[in-house]
Amino acid sequence: MRKRIIAGNWKMYKLSNQAADFAEQIKERITASDKVEAVICPPALYVTDLLKRFETSAVKVGAQTMHDTDEGAFTGEISPAMLADLDVQYVILGHSERRQYFNETDETVNKKVVAAHKHQLVPIVCVGETLEQREAKETVSIVSAQVEKAFADVTAEQAKKSVIAYEPIWAIGTGKTATAEDANEVCGAIRHKVETIYSKEVADAIRIQYGGSVKPENIAELLSKDHIDGALVGGASLDPEAFVQLVEAGTHVE
């Protein structure tokens, strides 16, 4: 059984005291489990502080993005080498908001995925379709193409360690959620695409999350599906009680 992963993407929310308070509320409540792991991806300013606060906790800390080179004249950017130096373990790559607002493309996402693995960071690679693409029944072709491009020049062993997050763009922050059946169907198509790129062994190992208005009320149904190995959570991850409930669901849902 693949170990589930519940990752909270805080986006551009919380001030430093709020981040610290959140950490203090959850760090003792989330314990090590062989069924699920918990990751918080805060704004970059809070990564160091949360690493210290979660030092004796089972909660891991990730970044929301990174550059694809180790260093250089890139004002405002953070390199994979810097994240690795801090012992950050995860990094979200290719989120639809990065693609929409910061001009990220399939090609730049691929460079970042390769760079993440170079520094032993686990990439959470985001893929997803727009409402227009979904209505045109292009979901599987769009998402499959994103996966193929993101994993160019990534080895099979690296792919096994990666996480893919299926986030239908039309469901992010809208309150709309793909049905568990629809989400599982697309996650299954993603797994099939990974198998065609690599092998069944890799496809069986890689973890695929669903993201898009995930909350305690719908997490159990999502996690009950065979191709959904966790969730990339936005708004609900800002509430410590809700985040704990999401992680607990990962432990208890069969």
Active centre residues (catalytic): 95, 167
Let me know how long the chain is: 254
Determine if residue 17 is labeled as part of a ligand binding site: no
Which residue is listed with tokens 């690493």? Answer: 51
> For residue 61, which phi and psi values (nearest 5 degrees)?
-115, 135
Determine if residue 103 is labeled as part of a ligand binding site: no
Tell me how far apart the alpha carbons of residues 94 and 65 are, in angstroms, rounded to a whole number: 8
Determine if residue 170 is labeled as part of a ligand binding site: no
Tell me how far apart the alpha carbons of residues 111 and 186 are, in angstroms, rounded to a whole number: 24
The Cβ-side half-sphere exposure at 3, using a 13 Å CA radius, reads: 12
Angle between helices 216-223 and 180-197 (to 10 degrees): 50
Determine if residue 137 is labeled as part of a ligand binding site: no
Determine if residue 173 is labeled as part of a ligand binding site: yes
Alpha helices in 119-215 (DSSP H): 131-135, 139-150, 156-161, 180-197, 200-205
Alpha helices in the chain (DSSP H): 16-26, 47-53, 80-85, 96-101, 106-118, 131-135, 139-150, 156-161, 180-197, 200-205, 216-223, 240-252
Binding residues: 9-11, 173, 213, 234-235
Binding residues for substrate: 9-11, 173, 213, 234-235
